[in-house]
Amino acid sequence: MRSLKKASLGLVLCVGLTGVWAAVTGASSTGSVSYSVLDTENKPVVDAVVRLSPLVSDGTLPAATEEKIIDQYRQAYEPLVTVVTVGSAVRFKNSDPFGHHVYSFSQAKQFEYRQPTRGTTDPLLLDKPGLIALGCNIHDHMLAYIFVSDSPNVAISDSDGRVQLAGVTPGTYTATIWHPRLKGDPIEQEITITDTEVAAEVSLDLKPPRRVRKSSYSGDR
């Protein structure tokens, strides 16, 4: 079984981040943050995770009953990045007519599932925060990630590079920005939330995308 590099979410300086913060007047008991995530060529970045963690916390983890499916289709994980909060669960689905062997050696969760045929695993409880890197012991090119957040204020960018965090309790937070191809460690910046909306434009320095050819199989899932 090959090894996967351990994933971590350590505290780092705001290197490679350019932010334009603008307060927009509003009237509500909670605030919101809208991010535009771009690369160094000003192109939108999909699958970037933004998490807000309060600087002062009582240590209470978010209550979560969410369950998500990670599919394996044409020798690729879908989606590439899954975002959940602590206490959620995931299932692994095999939609290919051949076997897979999903596993992780990450500190946040170590497990393996052999899936010789089509089907879906039992739920896997994600009870620790952190970044989980997924591999396949049969198809080495298959990679994916699960971002397990200890804060409910977490979201992932869409195809337009947009991230919207609403209903945020006023206070001071650490904003963590992560992407699978981000050069170096996750980016962090302190931000104060009031009862206003904050707009942010973030530039990420990314590694070139991996060139992986999916299986030619194109049957039904």
Amino acid residing at 29? S
Q: What is the pLDDT of residues 106-149, one digit of tens each?
A: 999 999 999 999 999 999 999 999 999 999 999 999 999 999 99
Q: What are the structural domain ranges in the chain? A: 22-57+154-204, 67-148
pLDDT of residue 193: 87
Q: What is the pLDDT of residues 83-100, one digit of tens each?
A: 999 999 999 999 999 999
Highest CATH level, class, for 67-148: mainly beta
Topology agreement, domain 22-57+154-204 and domain 67-148 = yes
Q: How far is CA 201 from CA 33, 50, 53, in A?
A: 11, 12, 19
Enumerate long-range contacts of 95-100, CB under 8 Å, 24 or more apart: 95/71, 95/221, 96/72, 96/215, 96/217, 97/217, 97/219, 99/138, 100/72, 100/136, 100/138, 100/139, 100/142
User: What φ, ψ does residue 6 adopt, rounded to 5°?
Assistant: -65, 140
pLDDT of residue 221: 63
- What is the token pair recorded at 103? 């596993």
Residues whose CB is less than 8 angstroms from the CB of residue 115 and which lie 6 or more positions away in sequence, other chains included: 72, 92, 94, 99, 100, 101, 102, 121
pLDDT of residue 201: 87
Homologous superfamily of 22-57+154-204 in CATH? Answer: Carboxypeptidase-like, regulatory domain (2.60.40.1120)
